[in-house]
């Protein structure tokens, strides 16, 4: 990616929690396990802080250092989920309309195989990701629940089928008789938060349709076994390849662990949530992790 004034400013905002793209995503304010209601993580600040990053149709865009704009599916789906939560909380129709616009964009831009090309501008040979697949499903099934328009359910079904297609067949998961791993990147080390966002979509689809419960359980069991690789002893790890989590991602990991515990009742997720919170409350741990993350960013 290279070192530049733009990247240094962007990294600083991200590391200090001041980036519009990395707002705190604590446990969702309207989340209730077992119900297709509020989202697992709080995405509302992406809506409340992000109106300047909308195009003329009200769709979020990512701005590059050269001033160019890219419509990134992950950003759009998260904005839609945040808007939906604000509608659930405030009952103001403008927020539902914002969420629906994002769901409509998802349908209009979904490829025939059910995918969205999310990394087309940086990894053209590996453009797909399980993370936006799951987030899109979470948004689409919520809009379907409210509108009963079959087009949203049809798009969600296509998205799930692609997400559960093995990477060897052009999909975004690794699947065999014993495990199901959902990949944020198909060509890079395994990333925990992306896997969990994908899992959330699988869970939401199951709640609505009753389908893929065994797939969800299989991936949860796979994640349980992998958790040890995302704990360095004083902080959480961003990926399996030794990249430590920024303060933003560490906080996100805590919220995701809490949500998974509430959904699955598996004590291991509660244990990791509490462990990561203890790390976070230790100032020395926080400074150590911050310094290591900053050095890793500079090396990248």
Of the candidate CATH numbers 1.50.10, 3.30.420, 1.25.40, 2.40.50, the domain formed by 5-299 belongs to 1.50.10
What b/e readout covers 132-171, taking b as 16+ CB neighbours within 10 angstroms?
bbbbbbbbbbbbbeeeeeeebbebbbbbbebbbbebeeeb
Q: How confident is the model at residue 239 (pLDDT cuts 50, 70, 90)?
A: very high
- Residue 236 in this model has a pLDDT that exceeds 80: yes
The number of angstroms, rounded, from the C-alpha of 207 to the middle of its chain's C-alpha atoms is 19
Q: How confident is the model at residue 18 (pLDDT cuts 50, 70, 90)?
A: low
What pLDDT is stored for residue 298 in this prediction? 84
Please state the pTM of the whole predicted model. Answer: 0.93
Q: Which tens digit of pLDDT belongs to each residue from 21-40?
A: 678 899 999 999 999 999 99
Q: Which tens digit of pLDDT belongs to each residue from 266-276?
A: 999 999 999 99
Q: Which tens digit of pLDDT belongs to each residue from 162-203?
A: 999 999 999 999 999 999 999 999 999 999 999 999 999 999
Q: Which tens digit of pLDDT belongs to each residue from 248-259?
A: 999 999 999 999
The CA-atom distances, in angstroms, between 55 and each of 63, 70, 102, 245 are 11, 10, 12, 31
- Residue 17 in this model has a pLDDT that exceeds 60: no
């Amino acid at each position: 990616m290279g070192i530049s004034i733009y990247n240094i400013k962007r990294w600083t905002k991200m590391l200090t929690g001041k980036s519009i793209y990395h707002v705190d995503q604590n446990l969702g304010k309207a989340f209730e396990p077992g119900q297709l209601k509020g989202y697992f993580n709080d995405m509302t600040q992406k809506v409340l802080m992000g109106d300047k990053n909308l195009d003329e149709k009200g769709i979020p865009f990512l701005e590059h250092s050269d001033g160019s704009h890219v419509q990134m599916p992950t950003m759009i789906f998260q904005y839609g989920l945040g808007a939906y939560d604000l509608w659930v909380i405030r009952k103001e129709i403008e927020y539902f309309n914002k969420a629906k616009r994002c769901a409509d964009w998802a349908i209009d831009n979904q490829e025939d195989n059910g995918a969205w090309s999310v990394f087309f501008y940086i990894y053209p040979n590996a453009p797909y990701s399980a993370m936006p697949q799951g987030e899109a499903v979470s948004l689409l099934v919520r809009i379907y629940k409210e509108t009963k328009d079959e087009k949203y359910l049809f798009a969600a079904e296509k998205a799930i089928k692609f997400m559960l297609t093995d990477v060897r067949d052009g999909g975004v998961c690794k699947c065999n008789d014993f495990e199901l791993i959902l990949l944020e990147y198909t060509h890079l080390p395994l990333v925990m938060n992306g896997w969990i966002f994908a899992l959330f979509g699988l869970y939401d689809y199951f709640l609505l349709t009753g389908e893929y419960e065994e797939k969800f359980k299989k991936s949860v069991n796979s994640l349980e076994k992998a958790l040890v690789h995302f704990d360095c002893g004083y902080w959480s790890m961003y990926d399996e390849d030794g990249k430590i989590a920024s303060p933003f991602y560490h906080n996100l990991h805590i919220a995701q662990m809490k949500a998974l515990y509430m959904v699955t009742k598996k004590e291991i997720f509660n244990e990791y949530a509490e462990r990561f919170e203890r790390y976070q409350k230790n100032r020395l741990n926080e400074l150590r992790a911050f310094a290591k993350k900053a050095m890793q960013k500079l090396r990248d």
